[in-house]
Amino acid sequence: MRYIVTIGDREFDVDVNDAANGPVVTLNGRALTTSIVRDRDDHRFLLLLDAKAYDAEVFATNGEKCVLLHGRGFDCRIEDQRLVAIRKAAGVKIGAARKELHAPMPGLVVKILHRAGEVIKKGQPLLVVEAMKMENELKSPTDGVIAEVHAVAGRPVEKGALLVTFES
């Protein structure tokens, strides 16, 4: 199955096919040597790609996926390549940038780095959430002004909880 994976402004063409010896993955036309082990919930993955090992966790948030890789979060949009081709041929564009930040995983809010009214750049750390004994900086998905910080330092959050909203 062929997918278009968008991370920030970059698009990646990913082709994944099941084979007798395990999945065959091609990234932007380049075949990768792969080994993939996943948990039963398809949430946590141990990947071996071209002799490099990755421990990744995938969370759904705001209709997109967030991949935690070595403690760093990457917002991804994963679409079937055929649907992307149809969307592009029809001239339909994906909606505007997100105006909210949701928790990609359950955890404890350790630090809030900014307050309402502050001007923020996309990718700037907003708060720190501790999950599975790791501190994860959650970064702004957009440029803008913080309208409200819903998270409270020292309190737990559930996966998908609204943490920050931005002015539109």
Q: Taking the mean position of all CA atoms in its chain, how far away is CA 111?
A: 20
Tokens of residue 141, six digits: 């998905």
Instruction: Record the pTM.
Output: 0.56
pLDDT score at 94: 66
Q: What amino acid occupies position 67?
A: V
The string of pLDDT tens digits covering residues 53-74 is: 988 888 776 567 888 887 777 8
What is the Cα–Cα distance from 156 to 167, expressed in whole angstroms? 25
What is the Cα–Cα distance from 58 to 67, expressed in whole angstroms? 5
